[in-house]
Structure 1
Amino acid sequence: MESHGRAPVPHLLFVTSPMQGHINPVRRLAARVAAADARVTISTAVSGHRRMFPSLASPDEEAVDAAGLLHVPFSDGYDEGFDREVHDVRSFAARSRAAGCETLSGVVARLAERGRPVTCVVYTFLVGWVPEVARAHGIPSVLFWIQPAAVFAVYYHCFHGHGAVLASCANDPARDAVVRLPGLPPLKSRALPTIVSLTSPQQQGYPVLGTLRDVFLALDADRPTKVLVNTFDALEPEALRAVPGLELVAVGPVVPDIGASPSCTDLSLCNEDSSEYMEWLDTQAARSVVYVSFGTIFTASKRQELETLQGLKATGRPYLGVLRKVAEEGAALDGANGGGGAADGRQGMVVEWCDQARVLSHPAVGCFVTHCGWNSALESMASGVPIVAVPQWTDQPTVAWLVEECAGVGVRVEVDDEGVAERGEIQRCVETVMGNGDAAVEIRASAMTWMERAKEAIAGGGVLQRNLQAFVSGL
């Protein structure tokens, strides 16, 4: 192993599930760790690996990305990807654990044989079995928490004596209940991650609760001193100190380098043409466009997307929407095409995919209507773009709470009995953040303030770099 004339250079193996929302922050963090004088290797399941590197002769072949980082995949037993129409979700956890433990152990062994012994394994929460592999090889492991610190703290307390009160609060039919957890401000039911509301194996998403429980039990067993968290100190000072016995280290916001030229740093940027919608944005006035995206994995319902399109049309403002499930009548609104989109003077443009970081950093974008996935919220804050929060599930309600009540950079929609924000509500919220009222002025000012704070955290010599350097130096 290289030593640079000093102590041996640590080698960190980053392991993540093949979901885009997990792979992207891992790749971004790994690149920053590499810049902190460490060697890194990234490992995800074959299904995710082959999407990043589609031209490989074999889907499990090793590859080097545009940043020069080595990728060595493992198999989770679903090399073609998990398909709910084909595979049994009830057997996913056991099958992926068994296959993953075996094949990742082989990755660690092969790296050692090649003179690249791993000195630390960094993993995300959907591969909670990774510490088992690390222990078998006598290697320390560290969790990289890719959601807010507040969500980590809520889950920690959920699995340490507060599960019943959290479930009771989350299931309050009036949505007025408040829960008080150690180290956190009082949280209303609508601010809690939806997972804590689950009480029966028959409920959708219940397996995720078991996965999370295993992660926190492993933390109890391993007694690590640190957990890396994709947040920054200024945004979540209380939550970062709300878990006894653990040091939550802020290593975020882990967002793309906006100033860099487009590359395949992120999973979905490979082999995609962004020219049409970027050229359309170039024709729009500053801060005039409403950008809409509800994520890459669990998209909003067809009705929600239709209501959103109608609400956008009612605002009279130009919009760019990433809406993959739009019904024919919705896609036909204003003549927009549900495929590649169109931009010949019409009000809106609907596309199936876009380079979100580039869109949010474009001066024409004035608002982001989002499901409030944490990656999306951080990217929006780092770009100074106000948010209309339309949270769906898991951590998204908590992210919406952070956006609206803690950072003051957006507003959260109200939903009907079916959980849908109707067109009038979408229109109202867009106007709240983009109009000329006092609330809009205040929100836009807060958005600019948090953009500067994010830049300060990311800047050379900033908190992020210092925290990462201290972490690497301590290995």
Structure 2
Amino acid sequence: MAEEHNKTNNSSPHVVIFPFPSQGHINPLIQFAKRLSSKGVKTTLITTIYIAKTSPYPNSSIVVEPISDGFDDGGFKSATSAESYIDTFHQVGSKSLANLIRKLVNEGNHVDAIIYDSFVTWALDVAMEYGIDGGCFFTQACAVNNIYYHVYKGVLEIPLQAAAPPTVTILLPELPQLQLWETPSFVIKWMRLMRPLMVVGPTVPSMYLDKRLEDDDDYRMSLLKPNHIECMGWLNNKPKGSVVYVSFGSYGELGVAQMEEIAWGLNESGVNYLWVVRETEKEKLPKSFLANGLIVEWCRQLEVLAHEAVGCFVTHCGFNSSLETISLGVPVVAIPQWTDQTTNAKCLEDIWGVGIRAKTPVTRTNLVWCIKEIMEGERGAVARKNAIKWKDLAIEAVSPGGSSDKDINEFVSQLSPIKC
């Protein structure tokens, strides 16, 4: 049953949600905005002018306001580099955000708080300039943020490779013993603990968890066009638990050699597979490669993972993908690439026990073994059992009285009502 508190008025607290403009950052913040809206909070979602034009958001309960990132005609892809985009976004975006705040206030839409992505920390400076409370939303695992914090505090020296030989283990509070290669591939220098943390996830559409938010079966803002009909039609004709789903996310890139090994490994595994290969990655497929499965440019990942035909997820271990596979109870073959993904893979394999990590660089032989073990072996049986356990815990967390539901309620209770 959908929650009843989905209507807001001029006396409702008003929260502005500001994600970094990439798919993996937009999705969780959209879900947080939906949760706030369901509890009577007026929510405004900030996106860029380019995304607003190319990927409109069809949710009437959340107002979308575009700001400029300096690349209004082409977005991130039109920047010369990631560094150039981030620098320009800071310079242009901070001014555009300030203009938006003034516009909202002039229209009588007082802003009580800005929840900003940890990739746009400059939003806090703008918020403070206008006397608005700010909260940082981390789109990575708490374990990863724990590591960043201890690097910032000097407990871990950076670069880590220079500070210790590869055989040295790392021991940090509240974390399992880590090998050097299981830590994030970079650190964020500004990471620090400023305020108590609130856990508000899993930030997955409600239809797959507690089912309390009406029509919440998708994130509703996709920067890539999914091959939905083709995917679902293909999956509907496959036996239960027979399909291996493969995706390395909306941003990750594989080298040519890795793409070749994965391609031949999937074919040699003999299983049905659905593989997401973005348009920009297709040229890396082997020239003589004829797929034994279905290759698509993009898909609605949640619907794929929820399909009864899917028995395994070969994943790059991005945090959203990790949360989604746990929330849907699907075991994994982990092939992390960079940033937080190595630590997420550690959690998926050793802490949560829902999969196997492939050796890197991945060979076709090792990939075949990993897939067979998850689909047919004893470790796969254990992983499936654990995946269902974590799925139940995810549902419990966001259900009434659950840990995340309590934290969201606490956040809402701390918002100051609008002063007319």
Q: Same fold (TM over 0.5)?
A: yes
Residue 462 of structure 1 is matched in structure 2 by: 402
- Give the conservation status (yes or no) of the 8 Å contact 2:114–2:134: yes
Residue deviations 1:324-348 (CA, integer Å, cap 9, x gap): 32347637634x4xxxxxxxxxx40
1:466–1:67 CA distance, 2 compared to 1 (3 A): farther
Residue 201 of structure 1 is matched in structure 2 by: none
1:75–1:327 CA distance, 2 compared to 1 (3 A): closer
Classify the secondary structure of the residue corresponding to 1:14.
strand
Residue 170 of structure 2 is matched in structure 1 by: 179
Structure-2 separation of matches of 1:273 and 1:179:
43
Say which of 425, 440, 461 aligns to 2:366.
Answer: 425
How far has the Cα of 1:45 moved from its partner?
2.2
Say which of 194, 208, 213 aligns to 2:189.
Answer: 213
- Give the conservation status (yes or no) of the 8 Å contact 1:368–1:388: yes
How far has the Cα of 1:125 moved from its partner?
1.3
Say which of 251, 268, 278 aligns to 1:314.
Answer: 268
Say which of 271, 286, 289 aligns to 1:333.
Answer: 289
1:392–1:154 CA distance, 2 compared to 1 (3 A): same
- Give the conservation status (yes or no) of the 8 Å contact 1:31–1:67: no
Structure-1 separation of matches of 2:9 and 2:62:
23
Structure-2 separation of matches of 1:163 and 1:48:
38
1:74 paired with 2:28, answer no
- Give the conservation status (yes or no) of the 8 Å contact 2:44–2:63: yes
Residue 45 of structure 1 is matched in structure 2 by: 48
Residue 192 of structure 1 is matched in structure 2 by: 183
Structure-1 separation of matches of 2:299 and 2:108:
40
Identity of aligned residues (%): 34
1:290 paired with 2:281, answer no
- Give the conservation status (yes or no) of the 8 Å contact 2:259–2:285: no
- Give the conservation status (yes or no) of the 8 Å contact 1:21–1:375: yes
Structure-2 separation of matches of 1:460 and 1:163:
39
Residue 155 of structure 1 is matched in structure 2 by: 148
Structure-2 separation of matches of 1:373 and 1:5:
34
Say which of 219, 234, 244 aligns to 1:265.
Answer: 219
Classify the secondary structure of the residue corresponding to 2:230.
helix
Say which of 296, 317, 321 aligns to 1:376.
Answer: 321
1:86–1:43 CA distance, 2 compared to 1 (3 A): closer
TM-score (norm 1): 0.79
Say which of 302, 323, 341 aligns to 2:277.
Answer: 323
How far has the Cα of 1:292 moved from its partner?
0.2
Give the gaps of 5 or more residues in structure 1.
54-63, 197-211, 226-246, 337-346
- Give the conservation status (yes or no) of the 8 Å contact 1:122–1:143: yes
How far has the Cα of 1:116 moved from its partner?
1.0
Classify the secondary structure of the residue corresponding to 1:25.
helix
Give the gaps of 5 or more residues in structure 2.
1-6, 209-213, 416-420
Alignment of 1:35-114 (within 5 A): 35-53=38-56, 65-81=58-74, 87=80, 89-114=82-107
1:282–1:426 CA distance, 2 compared to 1 (3 A): same
- Give the conservation status (yes or no) of the 8 Å contact 1:320–1:350: yes
How far has the Cα of 1:457 moved from its partner?
1.4
Residue deviations 1:8-60 (CA, integer Å, cap 9, x gap): 4211101122111111111111001111221110102223322322xxxxxxx
Structure-1 separation of matches of 2:343 and 2:60:
33
Say which of 204, 215, 237 aligns to 1:255.
Answer: 204
C-alpha RMSD of the superposition: 2.5
How far has the Cα of 1:275 moved from its partner?
1.1
Classify the secondary structure of the residue corresponding to 1:281.
helix
Structure-2 separation of matches of 1:328 and 1:291:
19
1:363 paired with 2:319, answer no
How far has the Cα of 1:373 moved from its partner?
0.3
Give the number of equivalent residue pairs. 402
Higher relative contact order (CA 8 A, sep 6+): 2
- Give the conservation status (yes or no) of the 8 Å contact 2:76–2:85: no
Aligned residue identity for 1:75: S
Classify the secondary structure of the residue corresponding to 1:279.
helix
1:402 paired with 2:344, answer no
Structure-1 separation of matches of 2:59 and 2:162:
43
Residue deviations 1:104-128 (CA, integer Å, cap 9, x gap): 0111111111111110000111111
1:446–1:261 CA distance, 2 compared to 1 (3 A): same
Residue 393 of structure 1 is matched in structure 2 by: 338
Say which of 10, 13, 18 aligns to 1:10.
Answer: 13
1:24–1:83 CA distance, 2 compared to 1 (3 A): closer
